[in-house]
Every structure is written in structure tokens, then in C-alpha cells.
Structure 1
Amino acid sequence: MAPALLVAELDAGSRRGSALPREVLQDILAGARSVAEIDAMRVWERTGLPRPLWNAVLRDSDGGFIAIPDAWFGTGLAWEIDSCEFHFHRDDYARTLARNARYAAAGVPVLQTLPNRLRSDPDSVATELIAAHKAAESTPNPPVHAATKRAS
């Protein structure tokens, strides 16, 4: 069932016991695709930085695919939440390196964060995100186009 339909169903029913599902559905509608991305949204909220695009498709000036970062900031900064679970095995690691090579070739700075740090050390992650954003602001934006995909 699409998240928007679930929200409508919750709205039509009793509010009793629905706070957590409502909160999670709002995160999904905002672009989160995982618990780690919801945690990343919570860390971002601490920073005072402008709202990023969540899971935007990045393409270079020729239309070639670069990546789908967890968060994309208007300063040209990509933020990736990279877990060992999905990036540690040989093929997964190779895909992560290929993605990072595409970022580098396009001139996109990337901040990589382990998901467990979003909860265990959110203040340090927020500080790193602010510093990376500031560094990205001091350089020209890379020639990258971002397009959002709507949650269905």
C-alpha cells in the first residue's frame, strides 16, 4: 500500500495508538527509505542547515547517472549513510567504490557516515555535516542535476 494511502487510512480512523506510524509515514513521505535515513533526518534537524533533497537522482551535465545519495544539499554536497551490512561484501564494496569514483569524476564532495553513529554520536555527526556543508559552500557547485523521486 502506498504511504499516502496509509496516511489517509490513519486519518480516517482513531488517533489512539497511531502516533508512531504517523511519524514514520511522514518520514517516508519526506524521502526516507530506511531507519538509518530517518536517523539521518533527525541529525540533520539538529544542524540548522537548509533542507536537503532525500534520495535525489544525480546526473552529470551529459545526463549520465552519478548516484542517488541519501541526502543532496544545494551546495553540491552528497551525504551517504553507508552501513557495513550493505557495503562490506565484495560486490557491494565494489559498487560503493564505483559510486565514489563517479562522485569524484563529477566533482561532488561526499560525506560518508556509518549508521550506528547517527544514534551513538549524533552531535559529532552533526558537527561533521556542518563542516562538510561549509567546505562545499566555499567551492563552485559541480555541474550536477538533481531530480527527486516521489514516494508512492
Structure 2
Amino acid sequence: MPGIVLLSKERPTARHRVEAALMHTAGRGVVTGFEAARRYGLRQVDPHGTVHILIPEPGHIRSAKFTIVERTIDMPERRVLEGVPLAVPARAVLDGVRRIREVEPVRALLIESVETGLCSVGELSAELESGSRRGTALPRAVIRELEADVKSVPEAAAIEIWNRAGLPPAERNVKIYDAHGNYVGKPDSWCDELAMAWEVDSYAHHFGRDAFRRTLHRNNRYAAAGICVVQTLPSRIRDEPDKVIAELRAAAEAAAQRPRPNVSMGGSSERAA
């Protein structure tokens, strides 16, 4: 990493940081990373306050206290928003996450960038393949999740927990029907081999009279169909993964010991309550 140069003894505002960073690069730089992502409207950005600037090779401008200067032979196309030159969204987002070493914030920003329509999974994948490979292990893993249609951080974490538990394969968000073709439910994870459902139920989506009533009806349908169901709060996946794994394994063992109920994925008739 280039040496650090103190530009100012005062604590600069976000606008002053960007202006100073661009002045520091003599107008040759393009803002990328978290500052660019924030200016594109993303919220899941790291708040450390540095400005990541790309400049073309060759160059001898050094990083400063709140400015990360990165020399590159692959200067991105620029977009100018409110007078500030920004790297295109896919490049900006990836330049930010490849400096993170924890999977959850990487997931959060990449998922937000896709779900908001800022960039597509294909654009992220193409940018990842064309750019530097430094720090890309986590982004690559998350992009594989996105290619598998994972739409949220809890969903991605749940897939990871299920795989760690060593259970038979599970489908996500598939509709389950009983022997008569009646709709039973659409679990977050469904192990067809065991006829076992796993629901990751948050307070946000299940709090309130109507939501609670729907959850009770859903669980009653599972019970009537003979389906083994595990319910888990998203916070426990993050805070108590080993306990959640133990609960899933115990439920899977119980499900394997009883005759499999006559339920299936898909069906000719659907009757959602």
C-alpha cells in the first residue's frame, strides 16, 4: 500500500473528502468503492469515510489519510453524478467489497445492488472476471449464491447452515401439496427426502394479528400433512449457528424414523389459505 500523506488536520465532511481526493489526483481520478456506491443510492456501505480513487497507470500519486489511491491499467467507464466522476456501478461495488474480509457485509451490499436494479448479477460476474483477482474470494462465493437466485442475507446464511449440518439436499421456496393436491405451504427450505420443512421466521414478517394467524394456519397444515417443521429466528442463524445445526440434525433424525407422509413438490391443484 502506498505511503500515507496528511492532507488536512481538520475532520472533513463527505463532500470535502471527495473534493480533496479528486484534487489530490489532479483531476485524473474516478471515485469507486463505498463512496461511489453510496452516491448511487446504496445503503449497505461501510461507513469508514475513506474515498477510493482509481487513476490510470503509470502514476505516482500516493494515498492520503482519507484517500485510497489505486493505480490500474483497467480504468472503468465513468459516470458523472452531481459533478463527481464515478466508476460504473458493478466496478464500484466490487472495488468496495473486495476490501472486506467478512461474508455478511459482502452479501448485504451485493444483494442490495442487484435487488435495487443498480446492476445485474451478470454485470457483477463479468466485472469480477475482467478485473483484479485480489480480494475476490468472498465476492465470487456470494455471486455464485446470487446466480442460484438467493435474494437475502438470511437466506444465504441459511443455505450455509444447512450445508454445514450435512443434511440431504433441500430446495428453496417450493410449493408443497398433500396427497389430494391441496396446498400445504411454501417453506424457506424443503428436504423432499425427509419431508421436512425449515422456516426462518422473523419478527418483522410474522408479528401482528394477521401475520401470526397465517403462521399458525401454515403450521397446522404442516402438522395435518405429517410434515416435520423446524422454525428458526434469523438472529439465531447469526448468533447461535451451532445450536441451529443441532436442532436441524435432531429434526432430520426424527423425520427419518417415521414413515414419509404422502406429500410432494408441485401439484395440479393449489388452495392457499
Q: Which of the five TM-score ranges fits, normalised by the shorter chain?
A: 0.7 to 0.9
RMSD: 2.3
Q: Does 1:13 align with 2:130?
A: yes
Unaligned runs of 5+ in 2: 1-116, 267-273
The count of residues paired between Structure 1 and Structure 2 equals 147
How far off its partner does 1:63 sit? Answer: 1.8
Structure 2 Cα separation of the partners of residues 53 and 132 of structure 1 = 17
Question: Which runs of 5 or more structure 1 residues have no equivalent in the other structure?
Answer: 148-152
Rounded Cα–Cα distance in structure 2 between residues aligned with 1:104 and 1:62: 16
Contact 2:121–2:146, Cα closer than 8 Å, also in 1: no
Q: 1:59 to 1:93 in 2, by over 3 A?
A: same
- Where do residues 17-96 of structure 1 align in structure 2 (5 Å cutoff)? 19-73=137-191, 74-96=193-215
Is residue 7–residue 22 contact of structure 1 (8 Å, CA) maintained in 2?
no
2:242 corresponds to: 123
By relative contact order (CA 8 Å, sep 6+), the higher-ranking structure is 1
Superposition deviation, residue 19 in structure 1? 4.7
Shift of 1:142: 1.4
Per residue, is there more helix in 1 or in 2?
Answer: 1
Identify if the C-alpha distance between structure 1 residues 62 and 115 changes in structure 2 by more than 3 Å, giving closer, same or farther. same
CA positional deviation for 1:9? 3.5
Q: Which residue, out of 138, 146, 151, partners 2:265?
A: 146
Residue matched to 2:251: 132
When Rg is computed on C-alpha atoms for both structures, the one with the higher figure is 2
Q: Distance in 1 between matches of 2:141 and 2:127?
A: 11
Question: How far apart in 2 are the matches of 1:131 and 1:25?
Answer: 31
Q: TM-score, normalised by structure 2?
A: 0.49
Determine the C-alpha separation between the residues in 1 that align with 2:265 and 2:149: 14
Q: Which amino acid aligns with 1:72?
A: W
Structure 1 pair 14/124, CA: closer, same or farther in 2 (3 Å)?
same
One-letter amino acid of the structure 2 residue matched with residue 42 of structure 1: E
When normalised by structure 1's length, the TM-score is: 0.83
Question: Would the alpha carbon gap of residues 11 and 78 (structure 1) be closer, same or farther in structure 2, given more than 3 Å must change?
Answer: same
SS for the counterpart of 2:214 is helix
